[in-house]
Chains A and B, each alone.
Chain A
Amino acid sequence: MKVKLGMITLILPVFLGACADMSVLEEVPAWERGSLARPEMAWEPDPMHAALRQHIYFSKEASSGAASAGGGGCGCN
């Protein structure tokens, strides 16, 4: 298969910036994780809308693939 790896570098710097945080990866004590438990910090704060959007983009664009195993296709692609 043909994977055009060259283009990845265009986007990666965004996440390298984020990863700079990880230079010292100490375990964060439980009592300091209050912010992480906030609902707006969830991977998907609105799971219903996220499912709909995923379905729309799956039907209207050529790409697919999220970190989940469920869900079916539709007669739209």
Chain B
Amino acid sequence: MKHLPKHLRPRWRYLGVGIESWPDADVDRAAFQRDLWYAAGNLLGDPGSADVDLTVYGFRFEDGRGDAVVRVRRREVERGRAALACLSEVGGAPVRVTVRGTAGTVRACEERYIRRPPEPTDERTVAFEDADRDAVVRGSRADVRVDGGFAGATDYDFE
């Protein structure tokens, strides 16, 4: 189909979002997109969800940390933000999705909010709650393996 003349095309905003989960989480783009649409549908209803759009563009996720570019319609940024805030799980893994900022183009969004080198991940043993435990350490954050899951900690807890 012939594409629309420029003044009739929809205007978009691109949200640069950060994704955080536990280190064993396995989140891929398809699951993220599906659960985001479910979250939007549940919060805003089908009409609201269709208005906001929420298409996932760039997506990267590794070792419990990732980022993505999410497209929303220009006047629907706040509703998009609300839907992203209600995304508490992706494929059964608990996630925290943070909107780092909004931009008018995918490129500006990636340059401003995404293209930062990911912090290196390190696995080591730490003293936590009177025992030596394995931890996935990234910067000052550490996810410590405890019975039946992980505990969120920082380097302050090992001093």
- Whether both chains belong to one complex is answered with no
Q: A residues touching B (Cβ–Cβ < 8 Å)?
A: none
